[in-house]
A and B are shown apart, each in its own frame.
Chain A
Amino acid sequence: MSVLSADRYRRPGWSIARRLTLFLAGMVAILALVSWYMVTSFAREAAGRTQDNVLAASATSIAETLRSEGGEIRLELPYASFAMLGALSEDRVFYRVSTPDEVLTGYSDLEGPEAVSGEPAFATLPYGDVTVRAVSIQRAILSNGAVVPVTVTLAQTRDGVQSIAAGLSRQAAVLSAIVFVLAVGIAAFAVRASLRPLNTMAQHLATRGPSDLRPLRRQGPPELMPLVRSLNRLMERLEGSLRRSEDFIAEAAHRVRTPLAVVRTQADIALHSVEEEGQKQTLRRVIRAVDDSSRSASQLLDHAMVSFRADNLTLARVDLPALAKATAEALRPTAQMKDIDLTLSLSPAEVEGDEILIQNALRNVLDNAIKYSPAETVVTLSVSAGGGEARVRVADEGPGFGDAPAEQLTERFRRGDKVEGVVGSGLGLTIADEALRAHGGRLEMQTGDNGRGAWVTLVFPAA
C-alpha cells in the first residue's frame, strides 16, 4: 500500500458540518458578489442616466433659444442651463453650437455624437485629456428662406457620476460583506444545530459499556430514525447471537461436566481396585485429565455466568476478608493435594459489588495460582484497603508471567508462556478481569520480588 493511500486512511474525512458550512458560505459569497455587482452596475447606470437627463435638459434649453435675426442665426446660452450642470457636480463643461458650415459659438474642437432632429443623441467620448459624456441636439432654423440644421452639443466630464457610483458601490460592498459574514455565521449555526441529534446519538453510543446492547430510545429527527431503527435491529440481533453462544457454551459445559463426573468416579473406584502399578499410573493420568476437563468446563460456565451477571450486577456490601477466607477454605483441599501452603493475611475491607461475581473472580485467580505453583510452595492471599481502593492479592512462588503484556494474559483462551507443561483453559484471568471491570475495578499482574512468583491483585474501588 502506498504512503498516500495509507495517509488517506489516517486522515479523518471532512465532517458533514464543515462541508455543509463551506458549501453554504461559498453560495452566500457568490450571491453577495452578484448582488454587489448588480448594485454597482445599477448605481452606475442610474447616475449616468441622471447626468444624461440633465445634459439633455440643458442642451434642449440652449436649443430653445436658437432663432434667426436678420438672416443670422442667434442664440443666448441660458444661465439656468449651465447652472443646472453645476448643481449636479463639480464637473467640467464643454459646449458647441454649430451649423454644417460654421461653429456659432463654444469649443470648436468638440465633436459630439451625430444627432437626428428632435432626438438627443448621447455618447461617451474623449475630449482633450478627459473623457466626457456628450449630448447632441439638432434643431432646424429657418434662416434666409433656407432650413439650417443647428446642432447643440453639450459635454460634461464624468467625475461626479463616477464618484457617486463608486460611493454606492463601496456601500454595497460593505453591506455585502456584512451580509456574507452574518449568513456564514447563521449557516454554521444552522448546520451545527441540525447535526446536534446525530452527535448526541454518537456520544450516547460512545459512552455505553462494551456489552450494553440495549436499543436506542432517543427520539430524533425523522431523517435519523431509519438509522436508529437499523442500529437497534442490529444490536438486537447481536445480543441474541451473543446470548445464544453463551447459552450454548454453558449448555455444552454443563453436558460435558456431568458425564465427566461419572467417569471421574468410575476411574477413582478402578484406581482403588487395581493392584498393578502400571494400571494405577494409567488411571491416575485419566483422573488428572478428567479433572482438567471438568475444571475447564467449570470455567466456561463461570465465564458465561460472569458475562451475564456483568450486565446485570446485583449490588450489595461485600466483606472482602470473609469472602477471601471462604474462598481459600474451599480450595484448601486442592492445595493440600500439591502440598501447597495456603496462608491468609486479612485486613478489614468492604466493597460495593456482586458477591457471586467477586467470589468467582477470586476463586479463578486462586485456582490459577495453586495450579501453576510448584509443589511444596506457599500461596499467600492478602486483603488490604487504602487510597480509596480495596485490594485482594494472590501471590505464588511459581514461574511468574514472563514478558507477555498483561492485556494478553486476560485474553480469552490465552495462557502464559511458562505453563507449557500444565493443562488449562486460559479462561481464569479473563473471568477475573471481566468481573473486575464490571465493578469499575481492574486486575493488576506483576512478577513478584526477585523475579520469582506471580502476583495477581484484584483492585476494587472502595465502598
Chain B
Amino acid sequence: MGDLGFSGRLTALGRSALGMLCACLLAGSVAAQDFEIEDRQLYPGTSPVVLRVISTTDLDVFEPLLLRFQDQHPEIGIDYVVASSAELHRAIRGGATYDLALSSAMDLQFSLANDGRARSYSSAVTEALPDWARWNDRIFAFTAEPAVVVINEARFEGLPRPRSRADLVTLLRDHPDRFEGAVGTYDLRESGLGYLFATQEARASDAYWRLTEVMGRLNPRLYCCSSQMIDDVASGRLALAYNVLGPYAEGRLGQDEGLAILPMEDFANVMLRTALIPTTAQEVEAAGLMLDALLREGMGDGAEPGLPPLQARGEGAGDAFGPIRLGPALMVYLDRLNRESFLEAWNAAMEQ
C-alpha cells in the first residue's frame, strides 16, 4: 500500500500553502489554476465524457479502483489529478473545474461543503451510508482510517509496551535516554492531518498536552507526513512515531521487519476520507456514478485491494471514540484565531 496520507512531498511549499490557506479560507478566491499538482494521469474512455477527479490519494493506491470503475463504465474517461489537501482545497475554493474532489482533510472538505462549494447529491447508495458518514448530502465519507502509534521493535527491546496514552507518557518520562531524538510526530504547522488529529485529541483528552510536553522534552523530530515517519521508524532512526495513519502502517508491516503497531486502548482518532462534487462540476452524472462506486467499496468488506472500508473502523475494533464527526464543529479549529492559539500552545509545549 502506498501513501494514503496527506501527500506532502512539497514540504516547503506546503508550509506556505497552509499559511495562505488560512488567510484566504474565508475570504476571496484564487485564480482557477493557481495551485500545485503532484501527479496526473488520464484514463481515456470510449466516449468523449471525461471525469475530472482531484484527489489527495496517490495514483498507485487509487489506480485499481479507477480501473474497476472503468470496467463497469468503459465509456467514462478519467482525468486523475493528485494534489495535497491544502492545494485541493485551494483549487476548489478558487473555482477550478473538477467533477469530484477526494480528500483526507475532512475539516477542509467540510468547510468547502459548508461554504456552498459542494453540490448536493443523493442516490440509493448515499442513502445507505450511515449518518455519520455523510453531511447535508454534500460530503460523503468513503474510508475510515485511524491514527496509530508505530514503534521499532528493536528499539523497544526490554521496555514495556504502553497500552494507553498515560502509559506512553510514563514510559517516555522514565526513559529519556532511550527516546531522546527518537520520537516522531506531525509538524502541526505543516500537516493538516496532523493538526486535525492533534486538535481532536486535545479536545478529547488532557493526556494529549502531557504527552506533547513529554515529547517536547525529548527533542522530537517533526514530519510533514506519515510516509517519512514510517520510513524512519523502519530504519531505526525513530523508536516511535505518534499518530501515523493506520492503514498505511499496516501496509508496511509486511514489508519492513521490526515494525509494530501499538494498540492504544484509551481511544483512537479515526479520520474519514471524504468525497464531494464541487459546484463547478460539469460531468455531474459521471461524478455521481464514481461517487456511488467509491461509497459502495467504502461500505464493502475491503476484500478488493484499494482503500480501507468504512465499516471496519466505523464501529467496533476497540475504537471507543469512533470517527471524527462531520459537522460544523470541524470549522472551529480552522478558525484563524483558534489555529493561532492552538499552534502557540503546541509550540510552547514542543520547543522547550
Contact = CB atoms under 8 A, between A and B. Distances in A.
A93 B332 contact: no
Contact of B335 (A83, A86, A91, A105): A105
A132 to B, nearest CB: 11
A79 B116 contact: no
B138 to A, nearest CB: 9
B26 interface: yes
B327 interface: yes
B208 interface: no
A90 B341 CA distance: 28
B328 A86 contact: yes
A86 B26 contact: no
A93 B27 contact: no
A87 B326 CA distance: 10
B337 A77 contact: yes
A101 interface: no
Given A106-B26, A108-B26, A108-B27, A93 B328 contact: yes
Given A82-B327, A85-B328, A77 B26 contact: no
Contacts of B341: 74, 76
Given A83-B329, A86-B327, A92-B114, A76 B136 contact: no
A90 B26 contact: no
Given A77-B337, A107-B26, A90 B135 contact: yes
A16 to B, nearest CB: 55
Contacts of A94: 114
Contact of B332 (A82, A90, A104): A82
Contacts of A93: 114, 328, 331
Contacts of B329: 79, 82-83, 86
Interface in A96-148: 104-108, 128-130
A79 B329 CA distance: 6
Contacts of B328: 82-83, 85-86, 92-93
Contacts of A81: 332
A30 B335 CA distance: 53
A90 B136 contact: yes
Contact of A104 (B115, B137, B337): B337
A78 interface: yes
A77 B114 CA distance: 17
Nearest to A89: B136
Given A90-B136, A128-B116, A129-B116, A105 B327 contact: no
A221 B135 CA distance: 67
A435 B115 CA distance: 101
A82 B135 contact: no
A242 B114 CA distance: 96
B338 A77 contact: yes
Contacts of B331: 77, 82, 93
B73 interface: no
A105 B332 contact: no
25 contacts: A74-B337, A74-B341, A76-B338, A76-B341, A77-B332, A77-B335, A77-B337, A78-B332, A79-B332, A82-B328, A82-B331, A83-B325, A85-B327, A86-B328, A90-B135, A90-B137, A91-B136, A92-B114, A92-B115, A93-B114, A94-B114, A104-B337, A105-B335, A105-B337, A159-B136
Given A81-B332, A85-B327, A105-B335, 10 more contacts: A74-B341, A76-B337, A79-B333, A90-B327, A92-B113, A92-B116, A92-B328, A93-B114, A107-B26, A130-B116
